[in-house]
Amino acid sequence: MTEERSNLALHWKILIGMVFGVLVGYLFKNGLWFGNFIEFWLYEGTEVIKSTQTTITEVINNQVVERIETTKSSRPYKGADFVKDWIYPIGKIFVNLLKLIAVPLIIASLTKGIADLKDISKLSKIGGRTISVYLVTTLLAVTLGLMVVNIIQPGSGMPAAAMEEISQNNLEKSASKIEAGVLQKQTGPLKFIVDMVPSNIFGAAANNSNMLQVIVFVIFFGICLLLIPREKAKPMHDFFDSMNEVILKMVDLIMLMSPYAVFALLCNLTVSTDPAIFGVLIQYAICVLIGLLMMIGLYLMAIHFYTGRSTVGFLKAISPAQLLAFSTSSSAATLPVTMERVEEHVGVEKEVTSFVCPIGATINMDGTSLYQAVAAVFICQVIGFELTLADQLTIVLTATMASIGSAAVPGAGMVMLVIVLDTLGIPADDLAFGIALIFAVDRPLDMCRTVVNVTGDATVATLVGKSVGKLRDPNVKNWDDHYERS
């Protein structure tokens, strides 16, 4: 990557992009400075037309008649509209590019990773350790969340009127999350495992939310590649080796755009978020943040004591992935960068990175499980639902399962929170009230928990790498390393 050539490391460039994004977003939102200029000079008089359709039911000549009435309203073109139309698309293109290469990267890198192991017993060793460590970190995260929320008690003594208002405002928007959660709950106990096995690999690969299915196929494929004679396997091996190199190069090139993309993403978030939303929910948000910070502290301790590596060096190596996780709220979109950073900048060999990171992105969500524990107890405190010790244990179990089942996309953690609350036996009305209440601050908290999800994956990859002797010195490649200038 270019950072080694220019004076400024990539994470600084991304950070600067983020800060500018927030700043410019703030100016546009408040119609100041350049935003004002654009509104007045370029778009003066332009109107945003919004049409709303309402179904009117009437009784005409003793017959019930339904008709749709469309009302059009208009408002002046604002700085926020300008950001959505002209700045946000840069961020959207960047996220699309990352998602575009996620599935091919998993296929190429995991196939090559397994084939390089040369022996299935090594795969089961890495697999066993990966799943066990992921389970331990998730349980730790839920327990930490429960501890923090039980000590701080953010839900007691909250002003009822303010909560009612926030909840009412978000009731409609949060309804889809509740619906999705209820649908998910209605499926059978083994549905999760059944869903992991695709019936059509092209169908699975066509949808980024089916990443686990792709992983299952590739593991199966990789194992069979190990089991056939070496000379027959060689062409496949060489093909995926080359494909893997190409895709890693694509990551390098896409990352050249990252400072501008995070600028666009954060600029858009700033114009569409109202900072006042934190208001009465600030204590709850602080609880989640304290838990998340403690979780990062635990990861760094594990890195320090188990691998003997510098924690600052580790953070520097993975920081671009963390910053992207924050800006995109999606560990799936961040996955190509996480893999590239862990492999090249931390020094975990491909055999481990290619296996641990994609699996982590889909099943290991420590930030999400911690958030689910805090949110569940917070909602119970607010509605006055007494939690017994057995209930708290139920939260540990369901939040762990729910985080495994959460998709690695923005807002997915909230869908699974519905299942956690439902398992506790919270009445439907209270559940809807609670979800709508915390919906108000979900996006900023989602950004933070995604950072922890990604940091967790990188940490576990490093720990597993060390445990199987596959942690070496970093081997950073620049985007134009093999480019021959004529």
- Report the nearest approach of ligand ASP to the CB of residue 332 (Å): 6
The C-alpha atoms of residue 484 and residue 486 are separated, in whole angstroms, by: 6
Q: 174 or 406, CB closer to ligand ASP?
A: 406
- Give the position of tokens 């510098």: 310
Instruction: State which H helix or E strand residue 50 sits in.
Output: strand 47-60
Tokens of 342: 């862990």
* Interface segment toward ligand ASP; rule CB under 6 A; list 15-23, 148-156, 165-173, 407-415: 407-415
- Report the nearest approach of ligand ASP to the CB of residue 189 (Å): 23
Query: Can residue 215 be called a binding residue for ligand ASP (CB under 6 A)?
Result: no
Q: Is the separation of the CB atoms in 448 and 363 below 8 Å? A: no
Q: 80 or 265, CB closer to ligand ASP?
A: 265
The C-alpha atoms of residue 463 and residue 145 are separated, in whole angstroms, by: 23
Q: Which residue is nearest to ligand ASP (CB)?
A: 413
Torsion of CA 424, 426, 428, 429, to 10 degrees: -150
Length of the chain: 486
Nearest to 24 by CA among 77, 91, 79: 79
- Report the nearest approach of ligand ASP to the CB of residue 363 (Å): 11
If you count DSSP H runs as helices and E runs as strands, how many of each does the chain have, helices first? 20, 2
Sign of the C-alpha dihedral, residues 460, 461, 463, 464?
A: positive
Tokens of 345: 């900048």
Q: 252 or 366, CB closer to ligand ASP?
A: 366
DSSP state of 349: -
Size, binding site for ligand ASP by CB under 6 A = 16
- Report the nearest approach of ligand ASP to the CB of residue 412 (Å): 4
The C-alpha atoms of residue 249 and residue 247 are separated, in whole angstroms, by: 5
> Which residues, 6 or more positions from 161, have their beta carbon under 8 angstroms from its beta carbon?
none
- Report the nearest approach of ligand ASP to the CB of residue 452 (Å): 9
The C-alpha atoms of residue 69 and residue 53 are separated, in whole angstroms, by: 6
Q: 354 or 406, CB closer to ligand ASP?
A: 406
- Report the nearest approach of ligand ASP to the CB of residue 407 (Å): 7
Q: 80 or 451, CB closer to ligand ASP?
A: 451
Query: Can residue 137 be called a binding residue for ligand ASP (CB under 6 A)?
Result: no
Q: 180 or 286, CB closer to ligand ASP?
A: 180
* Interface segment toward ligand ASP; rule CB under 6 A; list 136-144, 228-236, 386-394, 402-410: 402-410
- Report the nearest approach of ligand ASP to the CB of residue 453 (Å): 4
Query: Can residue 408 be called a binding residue for ligand ASP (CB under 6 A)?
Result: yes
| Residue 314 backbone phi and psi in degrees, to 5 | -65, -45
Q: Is 72 helix (H, G, I), strand (E, B) or coil?
A: strand
Q: Any bridge partners for residue 48, and if so which?
A: 75
Q: Which of 213, 319, 330, 392 binds ligand ASP (CB under 6 A)?
A: 330
Per-residue b/e over 186-211, b at no fewer than 16 CB within 10 Å?
eeeeeeeeeeeebeebeebbeebebb
Query: Can residue 376 be called a binding residue for ligand ASP (CB under 6 A)?
Result: no
Q: 38 or 141, CB closer to ligand ASP?
A: 141
Q: Which of 137, 143, 368, 459 binds ligand ASP (CB under 6 A)?
A: 368
Query: Can residue 364 be called a binding residue for ligand ASP (CB under 6 A)?
Result: no
Q: Which of 329, 353, 364, 455 binds ligand ASP (CB under 6 A)?
A: 329
In the window 409-428, what residues touch ligand ASP (CB under 6 A)? 409-413
Q: 450 or 459, CB closer to ligand ASP?
A: 450
In the window 430-449, what residues touch ligand ASP (CB under 6 A)? 446, 449
Q: Which residues bind ligand ASP (CB under 6 A)?
A: 329-331, 365, 368, 406, 408-413, 446, 449-450, 453
